[in-house]
Amino acid sequence: MKLTIKKWSAINDREVILNGESKLVFASTAATDQKLEAAYRALGVAYPKFFKMDAQSKLGWLSAEYLCEGVKLFDASVGKDVALVLSNRKSSLDTDEHYQQSLTNEEEFLPSPAVFVYTLANIVAGEICIRHGIKGENNFLISESFDAASLVNYVSILFEEELCQQCLVGWVEAYHGKLRSVFAFIEKTTEGKAGLLFTIENLNQVYQTSEL
Amino acid sequence: MSELISKLKQQIVDQLNLADVDPAGIDENASLFGEGLGLDSIDALELILLMQKNYNIKIATAEEGQKIFSSVRAMADFIETHQKA
């Protein structure tokens, strides 16, 4: 079965990229939170919960949002046929460390429940599923580096086993102020329709293209 | 009382990261959950923390919490009663 990368988005410390074109360049002096907020404001959507998320969930949420260009990708009725497969190296370590610090503050021992809920890597997947009505297979894989081979293999099996009709796949990591995400929207190849074949080589190329 | 209500509104916006909410625009009589500010269960936990951190008030039971967090005014009433006691 042939699969196509219909669209892809990426966010790094410098810019937001959609299908290889720069959509937004961050101010070089902006802090991580300011970059994420600038990307959110540029979309022109109203989603108050965005401000409650940790940096990694904001990054993943924005990556999915830019992929959809501010429009919901899926009809709720097909949500069960949409899969989401994400990956990164550091899991939720950024927020884990933040939460750990709050636990060690003996003078003011009041750790925040709102921080605690983000001490799992797959919370970002949940935020995206809620936003886009995705109810299909979802998984978050941890690997030493961007592993296009595993991602292509995993997603191909999902399609072959008819566990999904469409899939969002990618990498999302926010750690110590460094942002890096690449999301690709995958569907079955339609003859005559333009698109990049979903292969290890092409997925790697997409990842490298969006590198700083 | 009105001073306490204004202060509480600002504290709620800060504690819950309600970035686009103007504290002055919060109706102190409106429900905090559901229709009003649309807060969720994690926000409820953050409100408990707010009361503990800023007013040294510990919420004893879920029933008590439900009553206290029904609106900003209910929170302010409870704080005032607690401070007089």
Instruction: Tell whether B14 lies on the interface with A, counting CB pairs under 8 A.
Output: no
Number of folded domains that form chain A: 1
The DSSP annotation for A86-126 comes to: EEESSTTHHHHHHHHHHHT-STT----HHHHTT-STTHHHH
pLDDT digit string, tens, across residues A93-144: 999 999 998 888 777 778 889 999 999 999 999 999 999 888 899 999 999 9
| Confidence at residue A75, expressed as pLDDT on a 0 to 100 scale | 58
Per-residue tokens: A56: 């990694």
pLDDT digit string, tens, across residues B9-25: 999 999 999 988 999 99
**Which of the four pLDDT bands, split at 50, 70 and 90, describes residue A81?**
confident
CB A20 within 8 A of CB A209: yes
Instruction: Give the nearest chain A residue to B50 (CA atoms).
Output: A110
CATH, residue A67: 3.40.47.10
pLDDT at A71 exceeding the cut of 90: no
Nearest CA distance, B31 vs chain A (angstrom) = 18
Residue that wins the pLDDT comparison between B39 and A88? A88
To test the contact with chain B by mutation, choose from A54, A95, A102, A112 the residue with the greatest count of B C-beta atoms within 10 A, namely: A112
Range A25-38 average pLDDT: 96
Average pLDDT, chain A: 92
| Alpha-carbon gap, residue B54 to A157, rounded angstroms | 53
| Confidence at residue A111, expressed as pLDDT on a 0 to 100 scale | 86
CATH, residue B31: 1.10.1200.10
Which range of residues forms the domain containing residue B61? 2-84
Instruction: Tell whether B57 lies on the interface with A, counting CB pairs under 8 A.
Output: no
Number of folded domains that form chain B: 1
Range B25-47 average pLDDT: 89
**Which of the four pLDDT bands, split at 50, 70 and 90, describes residue B34?**
confident
| Confidence at residue B62, expressed as pLDDT on a 0 to 100 scale | 87
pLDDT at B52 exceeding the cut of 70: yes
* Among A114, A100, A86, A103, residue whose Cα is nearest residue A174: A86
First to last CA, chain A: 33
Which range of residues forms the domain containing residue A145? 3-209
Average pLDDT, chain B: 91
Question: What count of other Cβ atoms lies within 10 Å of the Cβ of residue B20?
Answer: 10
CB A104 within 8 A of CB A95: no
CB A56 within 8 A of CB A174: yes
pLDDT at A77 exceeding the cut of 90: no
Nearest CA distance, A48 vs chain B (angstrom) = 7
CB A64 within 8 A of CB A50: no
Residues of chain A with Cβ-Cβ distance to B38 below 8 Å are 48
Range A11-38 average pLDDT: 96
Per-residue tokens: A40: 């959110």
| Confidence at residue A146, expressed as pLDDT on a 0 to 100 scale | 97
**Residue B42 is nearest to which of A108, A110, A113, comparing CB atoms?**
A113
Range A22-47 average pLDDT: 96
* Among B22, B29, B25, residue whose Cα is nearest residue B1: B29
Nearest CA distance, A196 vs chain B (angstrom) = 39
The percentage of residues in chain A with a pLDDT greater than 70, rounded to a whole number, is 95
| Confidence at residue A73, expressed as pLDDT on a 0 to 100 scale | 62
Interface predicted TM-score (ipTM) of this complex, two decimals: 0.83
* Among A202, A170, A196, residue whose Cα is nearest residue A64: A170
| Confidence at residue A105, expressed as pLDDT on a 0 to 100 scale | 77
